[in-house]
Structure 1
Amino acid sequence: MTIAPARHNGELGQAAWSDAQLLYALEEVVEKELNRHLKVAKDWMPHEYVPWSDGRNFPGPLDGDAWDPEQSKVSDIGRIALVVNLLTEDNLPSYHHEIATLFGRDGAWGTWVHRWTAEEGRHGIVMRDYLLTSRAVDPDELERFRMAHMSEGFESDNSHSMLHSVAYVAFQELATRISHRNTGHHSGDPVCDRMLARIATDENLHMVFYRNLLGAAFEMAPDQTMCAVRDVVTGFRMPGHGMPGFERSAARMALGGIYNLRIHHDDVLQPVLRFLKVLEIGGLGPAGLAAQEELGLFMDGLDGQARKFDERQAAILARRKANRG
């Protein structure tokens, strides 16, 4: 395989790759990771995880029963997190457009993009079927939220380069896995917990794909990749940030132990950075070295913020327990 010489960029201290050059250079890695993924991924049927026998009609043309919170088997925090998680999955058409436009629809890249989209599609299907069949959430509110969120669409915060997008999804897929898994644990419904565990397994495999791809990018373009990781980590936002009432829901999910600063630092950022030894990479140019140093300082600061959050969370929960007592 021959690759056109990368143009030299003095600021980076090494030859800089264009997106087209990186896409071509990483094609073999994508094909290898795709083949590995297809060997380990297990097909599953969304309908097998839905308690269909619990279902009944809602008001409307079929003259069913109105929804009432008492009908839900899911905890309050579980309902909030389930809605946020499902609305995030609902924007799949926008996500597909983003990555297909960036990565292309041909070759191994295109095969991966379509496979990823098909697997992610299962998640929205099974979650919505579960929520409506089990009457876990208000169906009218859920649909209004879906319409509002999808009408806004999704545009990545990290659209500057292909490397920014690869770095973002490496962390975002793990963040989504953690959010789904913790939602299941806090849902209070074993059926929900089992469903979200199945989804989390997919998300973990997606994370491994992108994480390994990011590792290959570090070998080819260490300075550029380090700068991209620095940008993504320091400015990270979950893809659902544009949905109605997200900030309030995120605050309640943080306090409820679904996803917060401590989880973000310990269970999302650190595992990826540690696996790729990002803060130990040597031989960087000026820009890469500066980005690495900034990343290390940011992680230290985030850990401090997480400690403060832990203290506030413990105080709030203790106060609530005392009030209940």
Structure 2
Amino acid sequence: MTLSSDHISLKDTWTDARLLFALEEVVEKELNRHLAVAKDWMPHEYVPWSEGRNFDGPLGGEPWAPEQSKVTDVGRTALVVNLLTEDNLPSYHHEIATLFGRDGAWGTWVHRWTAEEGRHGIVMRDYLLTTRAVDPVELENFRMQHMSEGFEFDHPESMLHSVSYVAFQELATRISHRNTGHHSGDPVCDRMLSRIATDENLHMVFYRNLLRAAFELAPDRTMCAVRDVVVNFRMPGHGIPGFERAAARMALGGIYNMRIHHDDVLQPVLRFLKVMEVDGLGPEGQRAQEEVGMYMNGLDAEARKFDERLAARLARQAARKNG
């Protein structure tokens, strides 16, 4: 896409309002592309309802016990984190609707995205409760606590920061769901999370392409936003009770860790946007570009150390098992 010289001449005066207006055409194009390739699916078709039975309580069913769960320990941890992340959809909707608006192509996308994301929480909760994969009481207590705290973008005042964040975050969520499925130990769970991951990938493509257009309009501002997001990235579920401990388990279990974050989330988006090749930047943009490069080099080094520690840990476990 080539933007008009009128837009380029305004590169030093871009405000969020100007950017929202200038990107409206891109949003409409990406929305139409998304609707053409997205496939509707029914959450109820991915839940093994025949496995369900009453829990204890008013219906006098059977209390939950860990041995009833067929998923692995790391799968159970990741499923809870992933579902609680999806549960905060009302806060996410509020954030993007406030930033992007509810009118025109922007508003149509905001509502469509919210409707599609809603399926993820529906099918995951139905699966978890029907198969007794997790403790339902703990899950509900966590949900109440997490949703009561809400969610806010780290840079709520900046539309470009928000677009940058979701471009990376949607891919991170896709990777987390996909790897959780692979490590769950249940083919039904794997199939369900694969379906969710397909949605998350399409959402990533929408925001990634929007971010590419923003680079053409306002390269310096966009580069600074990308730098801030990459260097300070946090998953949207960071406020979940016990998140740090759960994240550590997921890292050791190969679901989401520094190596995955570097290789499978940050690098693909940065490479697609050719962030390190953007030229014509002013001093601030150039500095931000350099900082992205330095951060990625440092993260890669840290990931190598993590890989070595994880390999040593797995070797010790194997030795104990075989000894």
Aligned residues: 320
Matched, 1:90 2:98: no
Indicate the SS of the match to 2:12.
strand
Do the aligned residues in 1 keep the contact of 2:83 with 2:125 (CA within 8 Å)? yes
Counterpart residue number, 1:34: 31
Match of 1:238 among 211, 235, 242: 235
Q: Distance in 1 between matches of 2:316 and 2:157?
A: 45
Do the aligned residues in 2 keep the contact of 1:4 with 1:21 (CA within 8 Å)? no
Counterpart residue number, 1:125: 122
Q: Distance in 2 between matches of 1:317 and 1:5?
A: 55
Do the aligned residues in 2 keep the contact of 1:131 with 1:137 (CA within 8 Å)? yes
TM-score normalized by the length of structure 2 = 0.97
Q: What is the deviation of 1:148?
A: 0.6
Q: What is the deviation of 1:16?
A: 3.1
Counterpart residue number, 2:266: 269
Summarize the alignment of residues 40-51 of structure 1 with structure 2, pairs less than 5 Å apart.
40-51=37-48
Summarize the alignment of residues 1-150 of structure 1 with structure 2, pairs less than 5 Å apart.
15-150=12-147
Q: What is the deviation of 1:160?
A: 3.6
Q: Distance in 2 between matches of 1:251 and 1:283?
A: 41
Q: Distance in 2 between matches of 1:151 and 1:224?
A: 33
Q: 1:7 to 1:244 in 2, by over 3 A?
A: farther
Do the aligned residues in 2 keep the contact of 1:7 with 1:17 (CA within 8 Å)? no
TM-score normalized by the length of structure 1 = 0.96
Q: For the aligned residues, what is the CA RMSD?
A: 1.6
Indicate the SS of the match to 2:238.
helix
Could you list the per-position Cα deviations for residues 76-130 of structure 1 after superposition, in whole angstroms to 9, with x for gaps in the alignment?
0000000000000000000000000000000000000000000000000000000
Q: 1:5 to 1:72 in 2, by over 3 A?
A: closer
Match of 1:255 among 243, 252, 270: 252
Matched, 1:198 2:202: no
Q: Distance in 2 between matches of 1:321 and 1:246?
A: 28
Q: 1:307 to 1:122 in 2, by over 3 A?
A: same
Q: Which AA in structure 2 matches 1:192?
A: C
Gap runs ≥5 in structure 1: 9-13
Q: Distance in 1 between matches of 2:9 and 2:101?
A: 23
Do the aligned residues in 1 keep the contact of 2:8 with 2:217 (CA within 8 Å)? no
